[in-house]
Amino acid sequence: MSYIVFGLIAAIIFVLAYPFILDKLFTLLKEKSRIPVYVLITSLAILLYIGGTELSHAPPPDPLLTYTFLAVLVTISALAVVMPYICFTRLFFTPALSGRMKTLSILTGSLFQIPFLAALLINPERTVDAALPPLFAEYLPGLGHIFDAVATALGFVGQAGYDLIFTVGVTLGFYIEVAIVSTIFWAIFSLFSKSE
């Protein structure tokens, strides 16, 4: 039992620290290359997660594969947290956040990524009616209902290939949700930084 608690605490610390590590690594790059490198790394992480998820449906899951996908998912989440600090500062010509405000902002975004990770990872098994396709709302607390409505309106639900559409939608929706929350905190702390 103590190994599980220790592992959980270590995982939470890693999830909270990872955006700070990525932000530091991106600040080492030249300013002109930050956005292209960010887009490349984010795209590769998302494609790796989608491709791996589609290939890993065959049981039994390999523990190494499971840990690899968790690491890729946490990377996607951390990249979403640092997105406004890398992309928006240059695109909108806003001044960079001061050290203390940036630290508080990234910490707040890091804390708020945990509920989205939990919603994605801790999901009840569909044993009641396993014949029904999964719902986006079960995995995406913010955008899930919108994605479900769009998938239903377009007639994708239950069709051949819906598993791939679902995986792509959940992965991109997860990234977008975390990025939106992080952007909101970036904007709030940017306002506080200007008033200092």
pLDDT(185) > 70: yes
Angle between helices 99-121 and 63-83 (to 10 degrees): 140
Q: Which of 9-13, 16-20, 79-83 has the least mean pLDDT?
A: 9-13
CB atoms within 10 A of CB 141: 15
- Determine the average pLDDT of the residues in 91-110: 76
Residue 162's alpha-carbon distances to 36, 145, 148, 159, in angstroms, are 31, 16, 12, 6
Task: Look over the chain and give the mean of its residue pLDDT values, rounded to a whole number.
Answer: 81
For residue 84, give the nearest of 188, 14, 13 by alpha carbon: 188
Instruction: Give the residue, 50 or 133, on which the prediction is more confident.
Output: 50
- Determine the average pLDDT of the residues in 142-162: 83
Q: What does the alpha-carbon distance between residue 136 and residue 116 come to, in Å, rounded to a whole number?
A: 13
Quote the DSSP letter at residue 133.
Answer: P
Q: How do residues 16-52 score in pLDDT, each as one tens digit?
A: 899 999 988 988 888 888 889 999 999 999 999 888 7
Residue 101's alpha-carbon distances to 96, 193, 195, in angstroms, are 10, 6, 11
Residue 38's alpha-carbon distances to 43, 50, 88, 191, in angstroms, are 8, 18, 12, 25
pLDDT(94) > 60: no
Q: Nearest 5°: CA angle at 74, between 73 and 80?
A: 95
Buried b (16+ CB within 10 A) or exposed e, 92-103: eeeeebbeebbe
Helices (H), the chain: 2-27, 31-55, 63-83, 89-91, 99-121, 144-153, 162-195
